Homo-oligomer: A and B are copies of this chain.
Protein backbone atom coordinates (compact mmCIF):
# COMPACT_ATOMS: atom_id res chain seq x y z
CA UNK A 1 0.00 0.00 0.00
CA UNK A 2 1.60 3.23 -1.21
CA UNK A 3 0.01 6.49 -0.15
CA UNK A 4 0.96 10.05 -1.10
CA UNK A 5 0.20 13.09 1.07
CA UNK A 6 0.58 16.27 -0.96
CA UNK A 7 0.09 19.98 -0.26
CA UNK A 8 0.95 19.50 3.39
CA UNK A 9 2.11 21.98 5.97
CA UNK A 10 4.64 19.65 7.55
CA UNK A 11 5.76 19.57 11.15
CA UNK A 12 8.21 16.69 10.79
CA UNK A 13 9.79 17.18 14.26
CA UNK A 14 13.11 15.85 12.99
CA UNK A 15 14.69 18.92 14.53
CA UNK A 16 12.95 21.81 16.24
CA UNK A 17 9.42 22.97 15.48
CA UNK A 18 9.70 24.58 12.09
CA UNK A 19 6.65 24.09 9.86
CA UNK A 20 7.45 23.62 6.17
CA UNK A 21 4.88 24.54 3.52
CA UNK A 22 3.94 22.70 0.31
CA UNK A 23 5.44 19.43 1.38
CA UNK A 24 4.87 15.88 0.27
CA UNK A 25 5.16 12.64 2.27
CA UNK A 26 4.89 9.13 0.87
CA UNK A 27 4.27 5.98 2.86
CA UNK A 28 4.87 2.38 1.85
CA UNK A 29 4.62 -0.92 3.77
CA UNK A 30 4.04 0.85 7.05
CA UNK A 31 7.05 3.15 6.71
CA UNK A 32 7.68 6.64 5.44
CA UNK A 33 9.40 6.33 2.08
CA UNK A 34 9.80 9.95 0.98
CA UNK A 35 9.69 13.46 2.47
CA UNK A 36 10.25 16.49 0.25
CA UNK A 37 8.73 19.55 -1.33
CA UNK A 38 5.77 19.15 -3.65
CA UNK A 39 7.96 20.54 -6.41
CA UNK A 40 10.78 18.01 -5.93
CA UNK A 41 8.27 15.17 -5.67
CA UNK A 42 6.52 16.16 -8.90
CA UNK A 43 9.88 16.30 -10.65
CA UNK A 44 10.75 12.80 -9.46
CA UNK A 45 7.32 11.47 -10.46
CA UNK A 46 7.66 12.89 -13.96
CA UNK A 47 10.81 10.86 -14.48
CA UNK A 48 9.89 7.70 -12.57
CA UNK A 49 7.07 5.28 -12.65
CA UNK A 50 5.37 5.36 -9.24
CA UNK A 51 1.81 4.27 -8.61
CA UNK A 52 -0.02 5.34 -5.45
CA UNK A 53 -3.05 3.49 -4.15
CA UNK A 54 -4.25 6.77 -2.68
CA UNK A 55 -3.32 10.44 -2.99
CA UNK A 56 -4.42 12.61 -0.06
CA UNK A 57 -4.59 16.33 -0.81
CA UNK A 58 -3.78 17.90 2.58
CA UNK A 59 -4.94 21.35 1.38
CA UNK A 60 -2.25 23.01 3.51
CA UNK A 61 -3.47 21.32 6.66
CA UNK A 62 -0.84 20.20 9.17
CA UNK A 63 0.75 16.78 8.80
CA UNK A 64 2.62 15.79 11.95
CA UNK A 65 3.75 12.78 13.98
CA UNK A 66 0.92 11.13 15.91
CA UNK A 67 0.56 11.49 19.66
CA UNK A 68 1.79 8.65 21.88
CA UNK A 69 -0.36 7.79 24.86
CA UNK A 70 2.38 6.54 27.15
CA UNK A 71 0.16 5.18 29.93
CA UNK A 72 -3.33 3.78 29.77
CA UNK A 73 -5.66 0.95 30.74
CA UNK A 74 -7.92 1.02 27.69
CA UNK A 75 -10.40 -1.66 28.70
CA UNK A 76 -11.49 0.41 31.68
CA UNK A 77 -13.90 2.04 29.23
CA UNK A 78 -16.54 -0.10 30.94
CA UNK A 79 -16.11 1.99 34.11
CA UNK A 80 -16.33 5.39 32.42
CA UNK A 81 -18.49 7.71 34.56
CA UNK A 82 -19.37 4.78 36.80
CA UNK A 83 -16.60 5.37 39.31
CA UNK A 84 -16.60 9.12 39.81
CA UNK A 85 -15.98 11.12 42.96
CA UNK A 86 -13.87 8.62 44.92
CA UNK A 87 -10.29 8.82 46.25
CA UNK A 88 -7.72 6.50 44.61
CA UNK A 89 -7.48 3.76 47.25
CA UNK A 90 -11.23 3.55 47.80
CA UNK A 91 -11.80 3.75 44.07
CA UNK A 92 -9.38 0.85 43.51
CA UNK A 93 -10.39 -1.40 46.40
CA UNK A 94 -14.15 -0.96 46.54
CA UNK A 95 -15.06 -0.36 42.95
CA UNK A 96 -12.36 -1.11 40.40
CA UNK A 97 -10.84 -4.34 41.70
CA UNK A 98 -14.20 -6.11 42.41
CA UNK A 99 -15.52 -5.10 38.97
CA UNK A 100 -12.32 -6.16 37.24
CA UNK A 101 -12.47 -9.57 38.89
CA UNK A 102 -15.48 -10.29 36.69
CA UNK A 103 -13.74 -9.45 33.41
CA UNK A 104 -12.86 -12.22 30.97
CA UNK A 105 -10.11 -12.11 28.35
CA UNK A 106 -12.82 -11.73 25.75
CA UNK A 107 -14.37 -8.78 27.62
CA UNK A 108 -11.01 -7.02 27.72
CA UNK A 109 -10.53 -7.65 24.02
CA UNK A 110 -13.88 -5.97 23.28
CA UNK A 111 -13.47 -3.06 25.72
CA UNK A 112 -9.99 -2.27 24.42
CA UNK A 113 -11.49 -1.80 20.97
CA UNK A 114 -13.76 0.94 22.31
CA UNK A 115 -10.72 2.71 23.72
CA UNK A 116 -8.93 2.45 20.38
CA UNK A 117 -11.74 4.29 18.59
CA UNK A 118 -11.31 7.17 21.01
CA UNK A 119 -7.53 7.19 20.57
CA UNK A 120 -7.77 7.42 16.81
CA UNK A 121 -10.22 10.31 17.04
CA UNK A 122 -7.75 12.13 19.25
CA UNK A 123 -4.75 11.67 16.94
CA UNK A 124 -3.10 8.99 19.10
CA UNK A 125 -1.06 6.54 17.00
CA UNK A 126 0.56 4.50 19.74
CA UNK A 127 -0.33 3.47 23.28
CA UNK A 128 1.41 1.90 26.21
CA UNK A 129 -0.99 -0.47 27.86
CA UNK A 130 -0.94 -2.00 31.34
CA UNK A 131 -3.90 -4.23 32.06
CA UNK A 132 -4.98 -7.68 33.11
CA UNK A 133 -4.64 -9.74 29.94
CA UNK A 134 -1.88 -8.57 27.58
CA UNK A 135 -2.59 -11.33 25.07
CA UNK A 136 -6.17 -10.28 24.36
CA UNK A 137 -5.23 -6.57 24.39
CA UNK A 138 -2.52 -7.26 21.83
CA UNK A 139 -5.05 -9.16 19.73
CA UNK A 140 -7.49 -6.22 19.85
CA UNK A 141 -4.75 -3.79 18.77
CA UNK A 142 -3.56 -5.99 15.92
CA UNK A 143 -7.14 -6.53 14.74
CA UNK A 144 -7.80 -2.78 14.75
CA UNK A 145 -4.37 -1.80 13.35
CA UNK A 146 -3.23 0.08 16.48
CA UNK A 147 0.38 0.26 17.61
CA UNK A 148 0.68 -0.90 21.21
CA UNK A 149 3.44 -1.46 23.71
CA UNK A 150 2.25 -3.76 26.46
CA UNK A 151 3.62 -4.05 29.93
CA UNK A 152 2.79 -6.35 32.82
CA UNK A 153 0.84 -5.24 35.85
CA UNK A 154 2.25 -7.90 38.19
CA UNK A 155 1.14 -7.63 41.82
CA UNK A 156 0.53 -9.89 44.82
CA UNK A 157 -2.84 -10.99 43.49
CA UNK A 158 -2.48 -11.38 39.75
CA UNK A 159 0.13 -12.01 37.07
CA UNK A 160 3.58 -13.43 37.83
CA UNK A 161 7.20 -13.06 36.82
CA UNK A 162 6.76 -16.16 34.72
CA UNK A 163 3.96 -14.38 32.88
CA UNK A 164 6.33 -11.48 32.22
CA UNK A 165 8.90 -13.87 30.79
CA UNK A 166 6.37 -15.51 28.55
CA UNK A 167 4.88 -12.23 27.29
CA UNK A 168 8.33 -10.81 26.74
CA UNK A 169 9.17 -13.76 24.52
CA UNK A 170 5.88 -14.19 22.72
CA UNK A 171 4.49 -10.68 22.31
CA UNK A 172 7.76 -9.21 21.06
CA UNK A 173 7.58 -11.45 18.01
CA UNK A 174 3.81 -11.51 17.57
CA UNK A 175 3.34 -8.59 15.17
CA UNK A 176 5.23 -5.51 14.11
CA UNK A 177 2.57 -3.34 15.87
CA UNK A 178 3.23 -4.99 19.24
CA UNK A 179 6.04 -4.58 21.78
CA UNK A 180 6.29 -5.88 25.33
CA UNK A 181 8.28 -4.45 28.21
CA UNK A 182 8.14 -6.01 31.71
CA UNK A 183 6.27 -4.09 34.38
CA UNK A 184 4.45 -4.33 37.69
CA UNK A 185 1.49 -2.51 39.18
CA UNK A 186 3.11 -0.52 42.00
CA UNK A 187 5.28 -0.80 45.09
CA UNK A 188 2.22 -0.81 47.37
CA UNK A 189 0.63 -3.85 45.70
CA UNK A 190 3.81 -5.95 45.55
CA UNK A 191 5.78 -7.64 48.34
CA UNK A 192 9.48 -6.94 48.50
CA UNK A 193 10.31 -10.49 47.41
CA UNK A 194 8.16 -10.10 44.32
CA UNK A 195 9.80 -6.78 43.50
CA UNK A 196 13.24 -8.38 43.88
CA UNK A 197 12.23 -11.09 41.45
CA UNK A 198 11.13 -8.47 38.91
CA UNK A 199 14.37 -6.54 39.36
CA UNK A 200 16.19 -9.81 38.78
CA UNK A 201 14.30 -10.32 35.55
CA UNK A 202 15.19 -6.80 34.44
CA UNK A 203 18.85 -7.61 35.05
CA UNK A 204 18.56 -10.93 33.25
CA UNK A 205 16.87 -9.41 30.19
CA UNK A 206 18.69 -6.07 30.45
CA UNK A 207 15.31 -4.43 30.00
CA UNK A 208 13.54 -1.29 31.19
CA UNK A 209 10.70 -1.75 33.68
CA UNK A 210 7.37 0.09 33.79
CA UNK A 211 5.30 0.80 36.93
CA UNK A 212 3.03 3.24 38.76
CA UNK A 213 5.31 5.21 41.07
CA UNK A 214 4.57 7.90 43.69
CA UNK A 215 1.06 8.64 42.45
CA UNK A 216 -0.38 9.68 45.82
CA UNK A 217 1.01 11.21 48.99
CA UNK A 218 -0.34 8.22 50.93
CA UNK A 219 1.62 5.82 48.76
CA UNK A 220 4.86 7.71 49.41
CA UNK A 221 4.25 7.99 53.16
CA UNK A 222 3.43 4.31 53.49
CA UNK A 223 6.51 3.28 51.51
CA UNK A 224 8.68 5.44 53.75
CA UNK A 225 7.04 3.88 56.81
CA UNK A 226 7.66 0.41 55.38
CA UNK A 227 11.15 0.73 53.99
CA UNK A 228 12.46 4.10 55.17
CA UNK A 229 12.66 5.24 51.56
CA UNK A 230 10.45 6.86 48.92
CA UNK A 231 9.08 4.51 46.25
CA UNK A 232 11.61 5.90 43.74
CA UNK A 233 14.55 5.34 46.11
CA UNK A 234 13.31 1.97 47.31
CA UNK A 235 12.74 0.57 43.82
CA UNK A 236 16.11 1.90 42.76
CA UNK A 237 17.74 0.23 45.76
CA UNK A 238 16.47 -3.09 44.37
CA UNK A 239 18.11 -2.34 41.02
CA UNK A 240 14.72 -1.98 39.34
CA UNK A 241 15.58 0.78 36.86
CA UNK A 242 19.15 -0.21 35.97
CA UNK A 243 18.11 -0.30 32.29
CA UNK A 244 15.68 2.60 32.52
CA UNK A 245 11.91 2.39 32.37
CA UNK A 246 8.79 4.42 32.85
CA UNK A 247 7.44 5.80 36.12
CA UNK A 248 3.72 6.46 35.78
CA UNK A 249 2.35 9.55 37.56
CA UNK A 250 5.34 10.62 39.73
CA UNK A 251 3.19 13.27 41.40
CA UNK A 252 4.82 13.30 44.85
CA UNK A 253 8.60 13.45 44.56
CA UNK A 254 11.15 14.22 47.22
CA UNK A 255 14.45 15.97 46.68
CA UNK A 256 16.61 12.87 46.06
CA UNK A 257 14.09 11.27 43.71
CA UNK A 258 14.96 13.64 40.85
CA UNK A 259 18.61 12.62 40.86
CA UNK A 260 17.73 8.91 40.84
CA UNK A 261 15.26 9.25 37.96
CA UNK A 262 17.75 11.24 35.95
CA UNK A 263 20.64 8.87 36.63
CA UNK A 264 18.57 5.86 35.59
CA UNK A 265 17.13 7.52 32.48
CA UNK A 266 13.60 6.81 33.67
CA UNK A 267 10.81 8.38 31.61
CA UNK A 268 8.33 10.24 33.77
CA UNK A 269 4.89 9.62 32.29
CA UNK A 270 2.56 12.33 33.53
CA UNK A 271 -1.22 11.79 33.66
CA UNK A 272 -2.61 15.21 34.54
CA UNK A 273 -6.35 14.64 34.03
CA UNK A 274 -6.38 11.48 36.12
CA UNK A 275 -4.33 13.12 38.87
CA UNK A 276 -6.87 15.95 39.07
CA UNK A 277 -9.94 13.76 39.00
CA UNK A 278 -8.68 11.43 41.74
CA UNK A 279 -7.37 14.49 43.63
CA UNK A 280 -3.88 12.98 43.68
CA UNK A 281 -2.15 16.30 42.98
CA UNK A 282 -0.21 18.11 40.27
CA UNK A 283 3.05 16.54 39.10
CA UNK A 284 6.24 18.64 39.22
CA UNK A 285 6.69 18.57 35.44
CA UNK A 286 8.51 21.88 35.30
CA UNK A 287 11.09 20.73 37.84
CA UNK A 288 11.52 17.38 36.10
CA UNK A 289 12.29 19.15 32.83
CA UNK A 290 14.79 21.40 34.59
CA UNK A 291 16.49 18.34 36.07
CA UNK A 292 16.77 16.77 32.62
CA UNK A 293 14.26 13.98 33.27
CA UNK A 294 12.45 13.10 30.02
CA UNK A 295 8.68 13.49 30.35
CA UNK A 296 6.00 11.74 28.28
CA UNK A 297 2.21 11.99 28.59
CA UNK A 298 -0.56 9.47 29.27
CA UNK A 299 -4.30 9.61 29.63
CA UNK A 300 -4.39 6.86 32.26
CA UNK A 301 -7.56 4.75 31.99
CA UNK A 302 -11.01 6.09 31.13
CA UNK A 303 -12.28 5.21 34.63
CA UNK A 304 -10.18 7.95 36.20
CA UNK A 305 -10.04 10.54 33.42
CA UNK A 306 -12.81 9.94 32.01
CA UNK A 307 -11.79 10.75 28.46
CA UNK A 308 -9.00 9.51 26.23
CA UNK A 309 -8.43 12.96 24.75
CA UNK A 310 -4.81 13.85 24.09
CA UNK A 311 -5.59 17.50 23.44
CA UNK A 312 -6.93 17.81 26.97
CA UNK A 313 -3.85 16.11 28.39
CA UNK A 314 -1.46 18.33 26.43
CA UNK A 315 -3.23 21.50 27.55
CA UNK A 316 -3.20 20.32 31.16
CA UNK A 317 0.51 19.46 31.19
CA UNK A 318 1.35 23.07 30.39
CA UNK A 319 -1.48 24.85 32.20
CA UNK A 320 -1.10 22.90 35.44
CA UNK A 321 2.65 23.49 35.48
CA UNK A 322 1.99 27.22 35.20
CA UNK A 323 -0.42 27.30 38.13
CA UNK A 324 1.70 24.92 40.22
CA UNK A 325 4.84 27.03 39.81
CA UNK A 326 2.89 30.31 39.83
CA UNK A 327 4.80 31.04 36.65
CA UNK A 328 2.97 31.49 33.33
CA UNK A 329 6.18 30.78 31.43
CA UNK A 330 6.50 27.27 32.88
CA UNK A 331 6.40 24.45 30.29
CA UNK A 332 5.85 25.89 26.82
CA UNK A 333 3.68 24.59 24.00
CA UNK A 334 6.79 23.37 22.18
CA UNK A 335 7.97 21.40 25.18
CA UNK A 336 4.57 19.73 25.46
CA UNK A 337 4.53 18.73 21.80
CA UNK A 338 7.98 17.14 22.18
CA UNK A 339 6.64 15.13 25.13
CA UNK A 340 3.50 14.12 23.25
CA UNK A 341 5.10 13.00 19.98
CA UNK A 342 8.81 12.24 20.46
CA UNK A 343 9.32 11.41 24.15
CA UNK A 344 6.16 9.33 24.03
CA UNK A 345 7.67 7.25 21.22
CA UNK A 346 10.85 6.64 23.22
CA UNK A 347 8.94 5.92 26.44
CA UNK A 348 6.84 3.34 24.58
CA UNK A 349 9.98 1.68 23.21
CA UNK A 350 8.91 2.58 19.68
CA UNK A 351 11.65 5.05 18.75
CA UNK A 352 10.94 4.73 15.03
CA UNK A 353 7.62 6.54 15.52
CA UNK A 354 9.24 9.74 16.82
CA UNK A 355 9.24 11.93 13.70
CA UNK A 356 8.43 12.08 10.00
CA UNK A 357 11.50 11.07 8.01
CA UNK A 358 12.29 8.36 5.47
CA UNK A 359 12.50 4.93 7.11
CA UNK A 360 10.47 5.95 10.16
CA UNK A 361 7.14 4.35 11.04
CA UNK A 362 4.23 5.91 9.14
CA UNK A 363 2.41 7.00 12.32
CA UNK A 364 0.97 10.39 11.46
CA UNK A 365 -1.95 12.68 11.99
CA UNK A 366 -3.44 15.34 9.72
CA UNK A 367 -4.63 18.37 11.70
CA UNK A 368 -7.49 20.46 10.32
CA UNK A 369 -6.36 24.08 10.37
CA UNK A 370 -9.65 25.29 8.89
CA UNK A 371 -11.50 25.11 12.20
CA UNK A 372 -12.01 28.41 14.05
CA UNK A 373 -9.93 27.35 17.08
CA UNK A 374 -6.81 27.30 14.86
CA UNK A 375 -7.21 30.91 13.65
CA UNK A 376 -5.33 33.19 13.27
CA UNK A 377 -2.46 30.95 12.22
CA UNK A 378 0.44 32.90 13.74
CA UNK A 379 1.54 30.17 16.16
CA UNK A 380 0.31 26.75 15.14
CA UNK A 381 2.26 24.87 17.84
CA UNK A 382 0.65 26.92 20.62
CA UNK A 383 -2.73 26.72 18.86
CA UNK A 384 -2.43 22.91 18.99
CA UNK A 385 -1.43 22.69 22.64
CA UNK A 386 -3.57 25.49 24.07
CA UNK A 387 -6.59 25.40 21.77
CA UNK A 388 -6.54 22.06 19.94
CA UNK A 389 -9.44 19.62 20.05
CA UNK A 390 -10.49 16.27 18.62
CA UNK A 391 -12.41 18.33 16.10
CA UNK A 392 -9.06 19.16 14.50
CA UNK A 393 -8.15 15.55 13.73
CA UNK A 394 -8.90 14.98 10.04
CA UNK A 395 -6.98 11.75 9.61
CA UNK A 396 -5.03 9.29 11.74
CA UNK A 397 -2.57 6.84 10.17
CA UNK A 398 -0.86 4.00 12.02
CA UNK A 399 1.84 1.93 10.35
CA UNK A 400 0.85 3.26 6.95
CA UNK A 401 -2.85 2.45 7.28
CA UNK A 402 -5.48 5.21 7.46
CA UNK A 403 -7.59 4.12 10.44
CA UNK A 404 -9.68 7.30 10.85
CA UNK A 405 -10.62 9.98 8.37
CA UNK A 406 -13.23 12.75 8.44
CA UNK A 407 -15.17 11.19 11.28
CA UNK A 408 -15.19 7.66 9.89
CA UNK A 409 -13.26 4.68 11.31
CA UNK A 410 -11.51 2.16 9.08
CA UNK A 411 -10.49 -0.40 11.66
CA UNK A 412 -12.16 -3.49 10.28
CA UNK A 413 -14.76 -3.63 13.08
CA UNK A 414 -18.16 -1.95 12.95
CA UNK A 415 -18.39 0.95 15.41
CA UNK A 416 -21.93 -0.01 16.44
CA UNK A 417 -20.84 -3.57 17.17
CA UNK A 418 -18.09 -2.33 19.49
CA UNK A 419 -20.61 -0.10 21.32
CA UNK A 420 -23.16 -2.87 21.76
CA UNK A 421 -20.58 -5.28 23.10
CA UNK A 422 -19.25 -2.68 25.56
CA UNK A 423 -22.76 -1.89 26.84
CA UNK A 424 -23.47 -5.59 27.25
CA UNK A 425 -20.30 -6.17 29.28
CA UNK A 426 -20.82 -3.05 31.41
CA UNK A 427 -24.40 -4.04 32.18
CA UNK A 428 -23.42 -7.58 33.05
CA UNK A 429 -20.67 -6.53 35.44
CA UNK A 430 -22.09 -3.34 36.94
CA UNK A 431 -25.78 -4.16 36.73
A interface residue numbers (CB < 8 A to B): 77-78, 80-82, 84-88, 91, 114-115, 117-118, 121, 273, 275-282, 302, 305-309, 312, 315, 318-320, 322-323, 325-330, 332-333, 370-373, 375-380, 382-383, 386-391, 415, 418-419, 422-423, 426-427, 430
Contacts and interface: CB of A to CB of B under 8 A. Distances in A.
Given A88-B328, A370-B415, 8 more contacts: A81-B379, A81-B387, A114-B372, A276-B320, A306-B386, A375-B419, A376-B427, A389-B391
Q: Which 3 A-B pairs have the closest CB atoms?
A: A81-B382, A81-B379, A276-B319
Contacts of A426: 376, 378
B327 A279 contact: yes
Given A279-B330, A332-B84, A78 B391 contact: no
Nearest to A82: B378
A329 B80 contact: no
Contacts of A318: 277
B325 A378 contact: no
Contacts of A320: 276
Contacts of A319: 273, 276-277
Of listed A81, A322, A371, A386, residue having the most chain B CB within 10 A = A81
14 contacts: A78-B376, A85-B328, A86-B329, A87-B328, A121-B372, A276-B320, A279-B326, A307-B373, A375-B419, A375-B422, A376-B419, A376-B423, A389-B389, A390-B390
Contacts of A312: 312, 315
Nearest to A88: B328
B118 A307 contact: no
Nearest to A85: B329
A424 to B, nearest CB: 9
